[in-house]
Structure 1
């Protein structure tokens, strides 16, 4: 099993190249030797020059061509969208071949991706398609709050329809397995309700009683320390203050709003239940500041640290098995 981390550079016109180079420079020599950037060398060298840094990037780059590289910073471009896809596709294939142990993704631009003919709602859907996975769950992780989502980039109406007993139970299982892998012996998992006050015994809807409560009961029957459904207006505060290790959020904004409130610059996006490991920064391409050398790479460092934790956890699990 490889302990190499593969960073995908993201959209070549965004801040991905800058934060990737900065993160590489901040590493120890040992960690740098266990890192590869999947991207375009001329673009990364342009980012290095914009940052005023001095490092030979060649040994650390899996170089993929881009016509006209380096492209102009901060521009929406189908060429850039296609390149971002190709970086990820190559990293996925190498992860499947166990050449690298975990992928860390810099931000992509969904509009550029779609302009290039790659019709995905984001990284998670793309990774699910590339790996042939039936399911993948988005988990946002910070020091004091972790959230896994039953659904993400769909309308609120569709999210409610997706919150079936089977899907909620599968999400609970995925979250429980992930936390055990990174060192939690018996994760305490709270399941957020979907309606105000969990429906108030049917007064505000019956989905919590009919769909979510049975999933929690089934999880508990399997030995998972699951609690809920718990009203969403209190459960995040309870988890943040230590009552729970993970919250199952029923839809995108229910989980994203609280985690971005408390950990906007540090939360890591983790894809759970894929056959490969992937973490990501939890911010966008920031076209407005791309190429100016001022992008904050702290979130990238957090994503890399989480990736190394996953690689270590997998190795430990393999030894136990």
Structure 2
């Protein structure tokens, strides 16, 4: 049975509730080890009025502070970062087969003086690799060519060379059979009338990647406003909201986040800390369970 290191996320949010709720389910599939110390675990469980399972294995992460449900603060931000780094190091040291992350709060990280915007940026720095962010569920997966950058900066990033490298890395990280590549512009540029990135960069990158792969793996550029109409498939989006707005409209509860093109496999819930329902017993465990299932089905990919 695979051992999965679970980073506990922001303790002012829903992560710890999800971990406790789902434990008896996921322990049938994998052996989880939770990156938290006993003192903080007991504090959270008491606030939730939930029992701690006897077989809830923890990996000690130092820290002691008052949990303030639904609150952005530096203490929770630092602890969530330390929990994540503990999970990463367990995987790096081959003491865990993969990691699954529960949600952090970016503002809490900032208050704690952490220079990163999120998990993926940390993984890029730790492993010196171009980690690829992919989100979705079995029905639909969307990988993001650009992620957390202003929309005004996207077009300059869409070059043939950059996109070709991305497409090759993505192919080598998955076992998918066919992947659609979205255009950047409305109507995929309409033959150059509404923009020429599709003609001079995106289509050449698709052709070059398929040539290197030696099969017709990628197709497109696809018209973005109709690409998702079937509600199924695997896609490369040029920017964050282009891919995630339709995905979350269709599969918000089921979707997960996966970091590809790394020496380790990392999956995560595809939702935030949900401060509005923290410690109210209302957290949904579906995304977390799917994040664990992805590891079982796709461990061989990395």
Q: Same fold (TM over 0.5)?
A: yes
Residue 142 in structure 1 maps to residue 137 in structure 2: yes
Contact 1:191–1:247 (CA under 8 A) maintained in structure 2: yes
Q: 1:257 to 1:228 in 2, by over 3 A?
A: same
Residue 249 in structure 1 maps to residue 237 in structure 2: yes
The equivalent position to 2:210 in structure 1, one of 205, 220, 224, is 220
Q: CA deviation at 1:83?
A: 0.8
The unaligned stretches of length 5 or more in structure 2 are: none
Question: Counterparts in 2 of 1:54-73, with a 5 A limit?
Answer: 54-56=51-53, 59-68=56-65, 70-73=66-69
Contact 1:103–1:279 (CA under 8 A) maintained in structure 2: yes
**Aligned equivalent of 2:35:** 38
**Aligned equivalent of 1:79:** 75
Q: CA deviation at 1:285?
A: 0.5
| C-alpha distance in structure 2 between counterparts of 1:57 and 1:304, whole Å | 21
| C-alpha distance in structure 2 between counterparts of 1:79 and 1:50, whole Å | 17
Contact 2:7–2:86 (CA under 8 A) maintained in structure 1: no
TM-score by length of 2: 0.93
Query: How far does the alpha carbon of each residue in 1:241-287 deviate from its partner, in whole angstroms, 9 at most, with x for none?
Result: 5xxx4211000001101110110001110001122110000100011
The equivalent position to 1:163 in structure 2, one of 141, 158, 162, is 158
| C-alpha distance in structure 1 between counterparts of 2:127 and 2:248, whole Å | 29
| C-alpha distance in structure 1 between counterparts of 2:83 and 2:167, whole Å | 31
Q: 1:298 to 1:51 in 2, by over 3 A?
A: farther
Q: CA deviation at 1:59?
A: 5.0
Contact 2:40–2:64 (CA under 8 A) maintained in structure 1: no
| C-alpha distance in structure 2 between counterparts of 1:154 and 1:58, whole Å | 42
- May I ask how many residue pairs the two structures share in their alignment? 300
The unaligned stretches of length 5 or more in structure 1 are: none
**Aligned equivalent of 2:26:** 27
Give the secondary structure class of the aligned counterpart of 1:234. Answer: coil
**Aligned equivalent of 1:204:** 194
TM-score by length of 1: 0.87
Q: 1:42 to 1:288 in 2, by over 3 A?
A: farther
Question: Counterparts in 2 of 1:1-321, with a 5 A limit?
Answer: 3-28=2-27, 30-31=28-29, 34-56=31-53, 59-68=56-65, 70-133=66-129, 135-180=130-175, 184=176, 187-222=177-212, 223-224=214-215, 225-238=217-230, 240-241=231-232, 245-311=233-299, 313=300
| C-alpha distance in structure 1 between counterparts of 2:47 and 2:25, whole Å | 16
Contact 1:39–1:62 (CA under 8 A) maintained in structure 2: yes
| C-alpha distance in structure 1 between counterparts of 2:29 and 2:36, whole Å | 19
Query: How far does the alpha carbon of each residue in 1:199-241 deviate from its partner, in whole angstroms, 9 at most, with x for none?
Result: 1121111111111111011012122411111111122225x35
Q: 1:168 to 1:214 in 2, by over 3 A?
A: same
Query: How far does the alpha carbon of each residue in 1:132-174 deviate from its partner, in whole angstroms, 9 at most, with x for none?
Result: 32x1111012121111110110011212211111222222223
Q: CA deviation at 1:15?
A: 0.7
Contact 2:39–2:64 (CA under 8 A) maintained in structure 1: no
